[in-house]
Amino acid sequence: MTILDIVGLRISFGESSRPAVAGINLKVGPGERVGIIGESGSGKSVTAMSVLRLNNERIMRYGENSKVLYRGDDLLSANEKTLRGIRGSEISMVFQDPMSVLNPVFKVGAQVLDVLRTHGAQSKTEAKAQVISSFGEVGIHDPERVFGQYPHELSGGMRQRVMIAMAIATGPNLLIADEATSALDVTVQAAVLNTLDRLAESREMSVLMITHDMGVVARFCDRVYVMRGGEVVESGDVEKVLTSPSHEYTRSLLAAVPRLPRD
């Protein structure tokens, strides 16, 4: 069964005649890693945010026939209670800037622990053990020490790992990563991608990877959607799209691929 099925998604801001997203279709299967690639402003983030209904609905609207189906249920017509049940526990999101998620005045361990405890009814001791273990799982080598540190005491890569630990703490079926590795230098980026790779595999988690970087798509994704100006101009298996792109725009993205170390 398809985990995520976006059907005819249309997103318009204000009275602008040109929609930010002009009726796109996109599917993510169980355990599948799907990429969305496109230049800045092509509609990747507003598409990603629509899945958790995180767009500011006072300034934008979804098209009448748009659907975002999560396991068959339309999230665009779901009520707040249903959405709360899905956010974080079924579908999680990680962003480019971990500081948009981490509170600078609290130790990171306590913050991840809070997320766990609002979603599950375990004791504090059990929750702490689980946080430590998830820190290990995301490649934090001294999880006990990091547990007691403040965000500013950690490197960018470490903060990114903490945010990923927070996102996967509740065992989501789908992880949406929006430019999650874009701000990291190239070796840290490769290490974080390896970690996501391992996590997706061991947890049989689907990943929707949003990036402007074809190197990330090549390294990580099974399938890719190429977006431009709010439209999907090309989609397919990564190998196929990379070796024989059918759209001129995809070819131009490919021409700019940086080299990523694989391990």
Say if CB 93 and CB 178 are below 8 A apart: yes
Question: Closer to Mg ion at the Cβ: 107 or 212?
Answer: 212
194 vs 211: CA distance, rounded Å: 16
Say if CB 11 and CB 21 are below 8 A apart: yes
**Exactly one of 10, 26, 37, 45 binds ligand ADP (CB under 6 A); which one?**
45
Residue nearest to Mg ion (CB): 45
In 75-213, alpha helices (H):
80-86, 108-119, 124-137, 143-147, 156-168, 186-203
List the x/- string, 47-66, binding to ligand ADP by CB under 6 A.
------------x-------
Question: Closer to Mg ion at the Cβ: 139 or 230?
Answer: 230
Q: Which does 150 bind (CB under 5 to 8 A by kind): Mg ion, ligand ADP, none?
A: none
Question: Closer to Mg ion at the Cβ: 45 or 92?
Answer: 45
Question: Closer to ligand ADP at the Cβ: 48 or 146?
Answer: 48
The CA-atom distances, in angstroms, between 93 and each of 67, 79, 103, 183, 256 are 19, 19, 16, 16, 27
Please report how close the Cβ of residue 113 comes to ligand ADP at its closest, in angstroms. 31
The CA-atom distances, in angstroms, between 37 and each of 41, 212, 228 are 11, 5, 9
Other CB atoms within 10 A of residue 42 CB: 23
Contact between 45 and Mg ion per CB under 5 A: yes
**Touching ligand ADP, residues 12-41 (CB under 6 A):** 13, 20, 38, 40-41
Say if CB 76 and CB 53 are below 8 A apart: yes
Contact between 258 and ligand ADP per CB under 6 A: no
Contact between 199 and ligand ADP per CB under 6 A: no
Question: Closer to Mg ion at the Cβ: 45 or 55?
Answer: 45
